[in-house]
Structure 1
Amino acid sequence: MAQPEPLTAAQRLGVVRTALSRAAGLAGRAPDEIELIAISKMHTADAIRPLLEAGQRSFGENRVQEAEAKWPALKSEFSDVRLHLVGQLQSNKAAQAVALFDAIHGVDRPSLVKALAEAMAAGGRRPDCYIQVNIGEEPQKGGCAIDDLPGLLDVARAAGLPIVGLMAVPPAGVEAAPYFALLGELARRHGLSGLSMGMSGDYETAAMLGATCVRVGTALFGERA
């Protein structure tokens, strides 16, 4: 039996947008309340361009250097791209991140807050910032401890960082919904509306539980060879 033709970038994008819209509707939300971020880490400019041509405009990268190698040229073609840094950020890369990205999702310690505040003051750009929470208390993952969140928020707000919400990656291999619900409760407790949560395997659940942006890679780019 012949194998079905793989979906095109535009078709994959359509599938994800439809699923996101359906999940939003079930939760009584408007689909445009949720920003779909295509995670383009480890994908070449040639792999990214078909999604751009299909209308996708929000993308996420894990590393500053990789993004610097790909995105300036792509942004010259597609000037309305919104670029998110979704990986861990070293403090010594803060100035480069502020210059390139429109949102930074991994703010997780006072030293990074200080570096970002200085970079924003010097560079005149103020990307949206999300505090990353280690929602599953996993030692191998980045993010501040839940108990440290109030103090880190105080530091970030005092430094003038534009904190718009919280970000988290739940533990792998378990039901994500309780972790998404906890992140939502933490955000409400601290007067934040932004929730960066949900990936290819659970973005519909995240949308139903209040995500304002979901970070989707495989479902949009296909499985890596």
Structure 2
Amino acid sequence: MSDAAERLAEVAANIAGAANRAQRRPGDICLIAVSKTHDADAIRPLIAAGQRDFGENRVQEAAAKWPALRAEAPDVRLHLIGQLQSNKAEEAVALFDAIHSVDRSSLAQALAKACTKAGRQPQLFVQVNIGDEEQKGGCAVADLPALLDEAREAGLAIDGLMAIPPADVDPAPYFALLDELAERHALPLRSIGMSGDYDSAVMLGATHVRVGTALFGHRG
């Protein structure tokens, strides 16, 4: 096995173990390989090993490297996991299969127009600032009901919630809160968990985990 295949198998086994402990089906959890800042040569081994969902932070970076990779692997699914400027909505709708960072009314309106123009809508997640951190994107927990209403009134289908817990604290309470919020608003998907805590996220309801270092390895 290649290094990439070994890393992918290890992460998949960890996800399956956490899912089984939570009495969930491992197949219900989507593993997103966070390929931001990695070039095509670093990504190809994971595609060859069978990975099909990849996450990018920036529209421009994804637009530069993914058309060629998708020509080689047309069944790859791209997820935008970073902040999105409203003026990039049209480009994002054309390029991504899922957008995890809907966090304000103006972006919802821009995405609605872009989706209508393109005749397609990516899977959409509202990002919640679950730790109420000034430096992080995401809508405030208190503003979530209004943003969901505004998105739906604009014609968008919201599929789930996304959050990044504060660093250097136990993420479990934040994962549990996001799961509760998603349940309260009848949203089936929860995008939570990264390389250091994805097993905990799976135990607490994650349907999508965003894993970078554990799949691509540490930079030299």
CA deviations over 1:88-147 (Å, ceiling 9, x no partner): 000000000000000000000000000000000001121010000000000000000000
TM-score by structure 2 length? 0.99
Once the two structures are superposed, the pairs formed by residues 34-45 of structure 1 within 5 Å of their partners are 34-45=29-40
Structure 2: give runs of 5+ residues left out of the alignment: none
> 3-state SS of the aligned residue for 1:18?
helix
> 103, 120, 145: which is aligned to 1:125?
120
Whole-angstrom CA distance in 2 between matches of 1:82 and 1:218: 19
Aligned residues: 219
> 3-state SS of the aligned residue for 1:41?
coil
Q: Residue 6 of structure 2 aligns with which residue?
A: 11
Say whether residues 1:47 and 2:42 are aligned partners: yes
Whole-angstrom CA distance in 1 between matches of 2:8 and 2:76: 16
CA contact (8 A) 1:106 1:132 kept: yes
> 113, 117, 120: which is aligned to 2:108?
113
Q: Residue 182 of structure 2 aligns with which residue?
A: 187
Cα RMSD after superposing both structures: 0.6
CA deviations over 1:64-88 (Å, ceiling 9, x no partner): 0000011001001100001000000
> 3-state SS of the aligned residue for 2:190?
strand
Overall identity of the aligned pairs, in %: 67
Say whether residues 1:173 and 2:168 are aligned partners: yes
Whole-angstrom CA distance in 1 between matches of 2:91 and 2:157: 17
Whole-angstrom CA distance in 2 between matches of 1:61 and 1:39: 6
> 3-state SS of the aligned residue for 1:89?
coil
Q: Residue 205 of structure 1 aligns with which residue?
A: 200
Say whether residues 1:86 and 2:75 are aligned partners: no
Structure 1: give runs of 5+ residues left out of the alignment: 1-6
> 3-state SS of the aligned residue for 1:163?
coil
TM-score by structure 1 length? 0.96
CA deviations over 1:144-203 (Å, ceiling 9, x no partner): 000000000000111111210000000000000000000000011111110000000000
